[in-house]
Chain A
Amino acid sequence: MSGGVDSAVAAARAAEAGHDVTGIHLALSRNPKSYRTGARGCCTIEDSNDARRAADVIGIPFYVWDLSDRFHEDVVEDFMAEYTAGRTPNPCLRCNEKIKFAAVLERGLALGFDAVATGHYARLETGADGLVELHRAEDMAKDQSYVLGVLTQEQLRHSLFPLGGSPKPEVRAEAERRGLSVAQKPDSHDICFISDGDTGGWLADKLGAGTGEIVDHATGEVLGRHGGAFGFTIGQRKGLRIGRPAEDGKPRYVLDIEPVSGTVTVGPRDELTVDRISGIRPRWCGTPIQDELVGTVQLRAHGDEHRAVVRVSAGADPAPGAAEVTIELLDSAQGIAPGQAAVVYDGSRVVGSCKISATARSAALAGRGA
């Protein structure tokens, strides 16, 4: 229970459905500035208190679990390593894969619990083959199946998502009706361990500024210097501070960020458009794709659905998870950064996910763009 409205209502619904529910608040980071080292959770003390008060009102026991070490190793360090390697990770997927539905679930199972229930907006159904299927939420505006696309069948079998069938306003109204003080608490959007929301500043603080050159993609000409590569994301237009306009007069966008040299490559918008995606480390919610699937993919949280043909090949390494995924987008996408997750859907059902390793433009697309 994060202290937000969603996990509070999820806990209330699970308890009302007859489950023997215990509320757990995860302390995910320690505050080294505090005299009592680590006295503070990742989320604020107020969040922890809000979660505790919600548990009181629901009438369930409540505990705080300190998973700060696991979270730091599995999520924060991975986040930094990915940025260092020039990729753009999504730490929420990583946290679901490694913490909420791994560390917490494993500990819960060992302690005698059967499942982890969360406030994610997604639905679970049992398929004709007996497998548990993960589906998009009823409320597409709140759908969070994307960040759950890393869950395996074993994890899904021990998961509950009591909010999957409800629109957000209904959840807030229900919280109000249940007397939960968090009913009108604003949604959280930012990365939880970057409290001020300034990801670039946080990365620069941890990894060094990473100054470098801003280079034109076509000519290789140095257009300027920047104070830190972490301040840029692929597809960014604003804040480049290049004195001269491009020769064609069109705005320039960040096309690529070279992590070691800090070189930021810029160019016209067309160059951002891709329709070929390579992925690694696939994780399947149920049966892996055999050869090919014609479905859709989502490339970022709350991003658009793209019609796609997804193909899986064995890869050089025979180990499971070493397979390689190729995605042919029928609807092109823009500003896709390596490190993001591509989540594959068959209708509303989540098939699985992979980590984007490279993007490309097909000959047809390149021809159109030029």
Chain B
Amino acid sequence: MNAPVSEPVYLDHAASTPIYAEAVAAMTQQLTRIGNPSSLHAAGRSARRVVEESRERIAAALNARPGEVVFTSGGTESDNLAVKGLFWARRDADPRRTRILSTAVEHHAVLDPLHWLGEHEGAEVELLPVDQLGRLDVDALRASVERDPGSVALVSVMWANNEVGTVQPVQAVVEIAHAHDIPVHTDAVQAVGQVPVDFAASDVDLLTLTAHKVGGPYGVGALVVRRELELTAQLHGGGQERDVRSGTIDAPAIAGFAAAVEIAVKQQAEHAERVCGLRNDLVARVVEKVPDAAVNGDPDCAPDHRLPGNAHLTFPGCEGDSLLMLLDARGIACSTGSACSAGVPQPSHVLLAMGRDDEQARSSLRFSLGHTSTQADVDALVEAIGPVVERARAAGAVSGIGGASRKAAG
């Protein structure tokens, strides 16, 4: 069943996007140099200088102060540090603060720590509902805050959703929370480089980003933390990063990270316009080939509505993992938008929160475009999608997919 593969077509940039040559150069250059950034001698100082310059470049790109950038191992660690660190610090300051408000569509790197805090630390976690486009119900957040503002430890709302690309109303969230002096964390892993992200102007208190989603290396990221905010450390040791994060500072990775953030942010507007054009073409032509395919998320490609490179579609009667496998066999990489350690596909909690049923959630695919995407990638997908859907539909029919909800998809 595996057709001969020509050029691989990579449509999974939301999972990881190719590294920029400049990031590889910055990283490899630093890899050849000796020096622990925490050492006091010349070699250490030289490595430290690279780290601090990288910090300044990242801060400048995000309009934050350098001292607000805390380097971590990536998005998951940043989210854990933000959510747990803030919960513990705020509860220690006032034991009444046990509530955490978030959304039903967060990434597992936020949801799982929240769940853990609920199970083990007595946190009362409220996952607020989203509308059918996947956008937070701001009134529900306001009502929840105003019910008892003094008991809220923090609010965590992602900047943009990783599955359906919906951009959240972060500004409104900040206004509601700050009216009661409640700090706001946002997971901006998907947003940086795709839409304008201005830390100071957004007025959020903590912001997560990671290098490998912006064209940098794996295994490094940052939590941008407003300077005066107290966080309880998660990793204890040398206290290298503002005393809230310990571990030898990874100067080469940080150098690559900074190079990538700089490029991604500088090129953001131009990138968004180009990629949005490809994305709109992809959606229009896929729907032309598969007329009952339904687009999930916000149809508006504006930066406060949807990530420019995200196309998320439901193919009624098909199982997402059949589609993925058939496309994979044709050299086209995409995602069912959910994964776990055993590789068992699960219905997406994001789509379920948006009011889709189990079957619609299982019948969906995410195509995400990025800085290396071309018109040829879109053309290849458009050419493949018709026969692939037809075949997946036949497999879905024998697996009991399809039937009633086929007409309800939308």
Contact = CB atoms under 8 A, between A and B. Distances in A.
Interface of A: 20, 22, 25, 27, 35-41, 45, 48, 52, 61, 63-66, 70, 103, 106-107, 109-113
B321 interface: yes
Nearest to A69: B400
Interface stretch (B89-97, B244-252, B277-285, B391-399): B391-399
Given A61-B329, A111-B322, A39 B394 contact: no
Given A41-B342, A45-B341, A111-B325, 4 more contacts: A22-B329, A39-B342, A39-B346, A40-B342
A81 B57 CA distance: 66
B337 to A, nearest CB: 14
A260 to B, nearest CB: 33
What is the interface of chain A mostly: helix, strand, loop, or mixed? mixed
Contacts of A109: 398
Scoring A107, A109, A113 by chain B CB atoms within 10 A of each residue's CB, the highest score goes to A107
Scoring A36, A45, A61, A64 by chain B CB atoms within 10 A of each residue's CB, the highest score goes to A36
A110 B399 CA distance: 10
B344 A64 contact: yes
B343 interface: yes
B321 A63 contact: yes
Given A36-B108, A36-B346, A107 B399 contact: yes
A62 to B, nearest CB: 8
Identify the 4 closest CB pairs spanning chains A and B, nearest first: A112-B1, A110-B395, A64-B343, A106-B398
A155 to B, nearest CB: 14
A110 B394 contact: yes
Nearest to B116: A35
Given A45-B341, A63-B321, A65-B321, A110 B346 contact: no
A302 to B, nearest CB: 30
Contacts of B341: 39, 45
Given A103-B399, A110-B397, A48 B391 contact: no
5 contacts: A20-B1, A25-B343, A39-B346, A40-B342, A107-B399
B344 A39 contact: yes
Interface residues of B, number: 26
Contact of B326 (A35, A48, A65, A111): A111
Nearest to A67: B399
B34 interface: no
Nearest to A27: B344
Interface in B1-45: 1-2
B115 A35 contact: yes
B112 interface: yes
Contacts of A41: 342, 344
Given A65-B321, A111-B1, A112-B391, A52 B344 contact: no
A211 B397 CA distance: 44
Given A20-B1, A113-B1, A64 B342 contact: yes
B304 interface: no
Interface in B212-239: none
B340 interface: yes
B345 interface: yes
A110 B344 contact: no
A283 B394 CA distance: 27
Given A65-B321, A111-B325, A39 B340 contact: yes
B328 interface: yes
Given A63-B321, A111-B322, A111-B391, A38 B346 contact: yes
A187 to B, nearest CB: 22
B343 A48 contact: yes
A36 B340 contact: yes
A103 B401 CA distance: 12
Interface in B84-122: 108, 112, 115
A39 B322 CA distance: 19
A46 to B, nearest CB: 10
A38 B352 CA distance: 15
Given A63-B321, A111-B325, A48 B398 contact: no
A36 B340 CA distance: 9
Contacts of B400: 70
